[in-house]
């Protein structure tokens, strides 16, 4: 059974997208068949994003990504590649945040 039928767990950042891995940070990942197809860090979309997931400003940004005109083109591109999840990258893994688990 695919882990995406339930809550996704940590996914390895494979060699095919390793060039997009920038270390620890909040990112969007397009996933298909339990694999990350594409990865975009929020700091690539919002250069002033501080990486925090606990501040009121960050929570608002994360919960309203779909309505954010700055994020929409990136999200739409990722959606053509698979289901899009918001999560944290660290140690070559992507862990889905509970906050609205997928877009």
pLDDT in tens, 18-49: 999 999 999 999 999 889 999 999 999 999 89
pLDDT band at 101 (very low <50, low <70, confident <90, very high): very low
Q: Model confidence over 54-70: pLDDT tens digits?
A: 888 888 888 888 889 99
Please name which of 83, 24, 63 lies closest in space to residue 71, comparing C-alpha atoms. Answer: 63
Please name which of 63, 54, 56, 74 lies closest in space to residue 99, comparing C-alpha atoms. Answer: 63
Give the whole-angstrom CA distance, residue 93 versus residue 45.
20
In degrees, rounded to 5, the angle at the alpha carbon of residue 68 between the alpha carbons of residues 30 and 94 is 30
Tokens read off for 39:
């990865």
* pTM of the shown model: 0.85
pLDDT band at 98 (very low <50, low <70, confident <90, very high): low
Strands of 25-32's sheet in order across: 11-12, 93-96, 83-90, 25-32, 35-41
Domain ranges across the chain? 3-96
């Amino acid at each position: 059974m695919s882990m995406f039928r339930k809550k996704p767990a940590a996914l390895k950042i494979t060699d095919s997208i390793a060039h997009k891995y920038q270390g620890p940070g909040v990112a969007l990942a397009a996933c298909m068949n339990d694999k990350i197809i594409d990865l975009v860090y929020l700091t690539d979309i919002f250069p002033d994003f501080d990486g925090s997931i606990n501040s009121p400003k960050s929570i608002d940004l994360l919960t309203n990504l779909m309505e954010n005109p700055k994020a929409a083109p990136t999200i739409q591109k990722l959606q053509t590649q698979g289901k899009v999840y918001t999560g944290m990258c660290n140690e070559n893994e992507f862990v889905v945040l509970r906050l609205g688990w997928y877009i």
